[in-house]
Each structure stands twice: as structure tokens, then as C-alpha cells.
Amino acid sequence: MKQTQKRLNTEKLKFQSVSVSTFQRLTARLAVAEETLRAIRNGEVDTVMVAGKAGSQVFTLNGAEHAYRVLIESMNEGALTLTCGKLILYANQCFARMVKCPLEQVTGSSFRRFLSAADRATLRPLMKWPGKFGSKIQVLLKAGDGSQMPVQISLRPTAKNGFNSATIGMVVTDLTEARRTEELLRALTHRVVQAQETERGRVALELHDTITQMLCAVLVRSQTLAEKLSARDGSAKGEAIKLRDLLGQTAEEVERISRNLRPSVLDHLGLVAVLRDTSTEFAERTGVSVKLACVLLTARLPADIELTLYRILQEALKNVEKHARARHVTVCLRKQAAFVQLVINDNGIGFDPDHHPARRKGKGGLGLLGMRERATYVGGALKIKSVRRAGLHRAVATGRGLDEGFGPAKAGTEIEVRIPLPPRITAAN
């Protein structure tokens, strides 16, 4: 009897011990659950991971996207999610305002409806292969009322997130204000260039009509002085002759500066004559051979076009002299349909138009920009192709940016400018 009672007491103690440990374990789990619920209620948790027989599973809470949605809806840029077929799965209110359509008409429709045929063709390969880090493109966005808005589209692939195929995230940025600022800046620059040309003309006229004339008068006097001095005067006559020669060189240099500032040949004889004079003077001064080929123009081009082409040639030859180390330059002026084209080639060392050394050091680097802006002023376009001598790298700079490729090519640089001609000039030529 006593043994039985003792066994029962032992089992009771074991049961009480097990019950206490189980109670403590359950209490701890309950505390964890309560803390989890508190964190969820306070918005501190976006996802919950649950361990089970099938492994760990991650559950996203329904309210987890609220903060991100508020952020996207408050953006000043359009935000969309599209399928690879350009079907709009999601769009924020800003994009709906951009295209001037109700949001319910935007969601579920095709993004193609807001693009022109040309922009659709440009966007198509980017939608198929947006790249790991995304891509950007500038297009015209068509609104519901027929108006157009310049925008920049940024594309980036997103995770499948429950869809059968990957989706694409898109951000649409309104460029209207940026384009307006760009146009104002270009107009201001144009006015500065016009003022600069006016001042150049004034200074050139002053140099030619005043300084050059005075130097010529002094030159004549020095020549007279040298002739009056006899051989017995020895060193004095020699100094007079040296003074005469120095005055002659000074007069020639002043005349060259005057021509560079504003050549009178351009005003009186036209573009072909000034291109010929400039090429000849450059070849004689630098020793670099220049081959000039010009089409016969039966009618004068507009003054602003002639001046633009002359300044571009002048700047190109300056770059050849300072940087290219070229031995030969070709200049070709031709007319193609309703365009006039000037092409300048050199066989120098070449360069990368997008990473010019002077631009990286913050010194100069405005020559190419100035040429491009001058071409833009008269409705033209400038294209630069350059191949470096030490390698096969080829860089092509256009108005849209830099295209790069690799392939064997001769070193050197080609500058091409195309400018549309007025109808009356096209007909006359």
C-alpha cells in the first residue's frame, strides 16, 4: 500500500513538472504572437514568414503596399506598370492628367494609343529588351484632346509577382518646362552670338580702316628712311631695314586678325571665295595640305548660312592646328536636294567626342558645342565622326548622343554639317 502511494506521488510530481514546462512554453509562444499582432497593427510589418511541413512561406500583408501607393500617387511624374505587350496594368493619377483621360479609361488600355507610329517603332525593342538596369527614351506623348507633350520614358523590368509573364515599370517625366528653358537658353545664346558677330565686324573694320592704314603709313616712312640712309651709316641703315620688315609683318598679322574677325571677302564675293581664301591661308601658315572641292552655286546663300559654314570651317581648322596633328585636310562643299552640305576631313590622331580632354579638365571644350549650336541656329544638324589613331575604337557624336562601335578604320576626324536651303535658293541652284 505504501509503495503504491509512493508511486502515485512520484507520477503526480512528474505530471506537475511537465505541466509547468508546457505552460511556460505556451505562455512564451502566446507572448510572441501578441508581439507580432502588435507590430502588424502598428504598421511595423510588411510580410510574415511561417514555417511549416512544406517549408517556410512568406505572406505579404494587404496593407503593406499602402505607403508605397501613397508615394507613387503623390509623385509629379507618371508611373505605370505594363505587360511586355504594352497593356497598362496600373497607372497613377499624374499620368492620367498627362494624357487628359480618366484613370479608368487608361488602366487596361494599350500604351501604344498615346504614341505616334514613329515613337512606337522606337519603343518596341526597348520594351522587348529593356536591359537589367533599364533604359530611357524621349518621345511625344499624345493626349486625349489631340495635344502632344514632350516626355522622357524610363523603363525597368520588374518581378513577375503573380503574373504569367514579367511586367515593366515605367516612369514618364514631363519635359515641357525643360524644353522651354532649353529654347530660351538657345535663343539667349543666339543673341549673344549675333552681338558677338556685330562686335567682330566693328573691330575688324576698325583694324582694317585705322590700324592697318596707320601701319602702312609708318611702313612707307620707314622704307623712305632706309633708302635715305647711305651705306656709310652702317648699323643705322640695317636697323632701319629691320624696322621696315617688322612693320610689314605686323601689318600682315593685323590684316589676318581682321580677316578672321570678319572677312570682307565673305560679304563681297560669297562663301566659295572665303572658303578658298581661308584654306589657302591655313595651308601656307601651318604647312598642312588642304584640298578644297566646292560645288558651283549660281545664287548666293542667305548671309546667316554663309557665315555659319565659314565659322564652322574656321573652328575645325583651328582644332586641326591645335590638337589633330594632321598632315592633310579635305574640305568639300556640295548641294544635295534642298540641303547644302559641308564636310571637313583630317587624317589626325582622332578623339572621343563625348570625352574630350579639354572638357574633362574644365578648360575650353566649347568648340564642338559652338559648331553644333551654330548649325542649329539655321535649322541644320552637325555630325562628328572620329577614329583614334591608337586603336580601333570608333566614336560617332550626333545631335542625339554618342553611338559606339568597333571595326578597322583609318584614324582621323570627319565633321559634316547639313543645312536646309530656302525654296528660292533651291530652285535657283
Bridging pattern class, strands 381-387 and 339-346: unpaired
Instruction: Please tell me the predicted confidence (pLDDT) of residue 423.
Output: 76
Q: What would the DSSP string read from start to end of 18-78?
A: HHHHHHHHHHHHHHHHHHHHHHHHTT--SEEEEEETTEEEEEE-TTTTHHHHHHHHT-SSE
Instruction: Please tell me the predicted confidence (pLDDT) of residue 330.
Output: 95
For residue 426, give the 3-state DSSP assignment.
helix
Instruction: Please tell me the predicted confidence (pLDDT) of residue 17.
Output: 56
Biggest CA-to-CA distance, the chain? 161
Instruction: Please tell me the predicted confidence (pLDDT) of residue 240.
Output: 86
- The residue among 293, 285, 369, 295 whose CA lies nearest residue 320 is 285
Instruction: Please tell me the predicted confidence (pLDDT) of residue 262.
Output: 85
What gap in Å lies between CA 280 and CA 311, rounded to an integer?
A: 16
Instruction: Please tell me the predicted confidence (pLDDT) of residue 413.
Output: 92
Instruction: Please tell me the predicted confidence (pLDDT) of residue 127.
Output: 79
pTM for the model stands at 0.62
In the sheet that holds 135-142, the strands lie side by side as 88-91, 78-83, 167-174, 148-157, 135-142
For residue 251, give the 3-state DSSP assignment.
helix
Per-10-residue mean pLDDT of the chain, 429 residues long, equals 56 55 76 74 61 61 64 87 86 92 89 90 80 79 91 82 66 93 87 88 87 88 85 81 89 87 87 92 93 86 92 93 92 89 93 61 64 90 85 42 42 92 67
Provide the strand spans (E) within 327-380.
328-336, 339-346
- Report whether 201 contacts 261 (CB < 8 A): yes
Instruction: Please tell me the predicted confidence (pLDDT) of residue 277.
Output: 92
What gap in Å lies between CA 176 and CA 173, rounded to an integer?
A: 9
Provide the strand spans (E) within 135-288.
135-142, 148-157, 167-174
What gap in Å lies between CA 338 and CA 298, rounded to an integer?
A: 14
Cβ neighbours of residue 90 closer than 8 Å, sequence gap 6 or more: 79, 80, 81, 107
Instruction: Please tell me the predicted confidence (pLDDT) of residue 38.
Output: 73
